[in-house]
Homo-oligomer: A and B are copies of this chain.
Amino acid sequence: MPKLDLSKVPVKTGSIYPEPYASMMKGRSSLRLGEAGGLTQYGVNLVTLEPGALSSLRHWHLNEDEFVMVTAGECVLIDDQGEHPMLPGDCAAFPAGDGNGHHFVNRSDRIAQFLVVGTRAPREVATYSDVDMKVEMSGGKAVFTYRDGTRWDGPR
């Protein structure tokens, strides 16, 4: 049925990042709500950030539009322009191909939550702003490289 029972949606933790970046995602979890509701054209995740947690490495998407609405707590949006406090109801949009790397950080002492929507493009490249890494996703497979396209083999 269309109305989702959030208590039955599995809590997803962990990260596809290679170390040492995967460990930096500790304290982040999400409910894949769109998937739970049978949607295939875009993902809709309800992300929970524990105090101190990050949403991701700072990144931008080549082919996928991204939209965020904060739903609980408070966090900080960090992008190329600096820091922007985000409270419940605050929204941010990141058009595909706009190279403004962004992520959300919870610096408060209680959990923050946001809803994030992202298109599911057949092929996607995310480029990381603060580390020399990018990832290409296609056919459900993620390949991490340096920004010059050579195989990622540890931070440099």
How many residues on the A side are at the interface (Cβ–Cβ under 8 A)? 40
A5, chain B: closest CB distance, angstroms? 10
26 contacts between A and B (CB under 8 A): A1-B81, A1-B84, A2-B77, A2-B84, A2-B93, A2-B102, A4-B90, A4-B91, A34-B65, A34-B67, A37-B67, A37-B91, A37-B93, A38-B93, A39-B65, A39-B67, A39-B95, A40-B65, A41-B42, A41-B65, A42-B65, A42-B117, A44-B93, A46-B91, A69-B69, A117-B117
Is A54 part of the binding interface, using a Cβ–Cβ cutoff of 8 Å?
A: no
Known pairs A44-B117, A67-B34, A69-B115; A91 contacts B6 (CB<8 A): yes
Chain copies in complex: 2
Q: Which residues of A contact B (CB under 8 A)?
A: 1-4, 6, 33-34, 36-42, 44, 46, 64-65, 67, 69, 71, 77, 79, 81, 84, 86, 89-96, 98, 100, 102, 115, 117, 119
Which residue from B33, B95, B102 sits with its C-beta under 8 Å from A93? Answer: B33
Cβ–Cβ contact A41 & B90, under 8 A: no
A88, chain B: closest CB distance, angstroms? 9
How far is B113's CA from A91's CA once the two chains are assembled, in angstroms? 15
Which residue from B3, B71, B95 sits with its C-beta under 8 Å from A77? Answer: B3
Which residue from B3, B71, B91, B94 sits with its C-beta under 8 Å from A84? Answer: B3
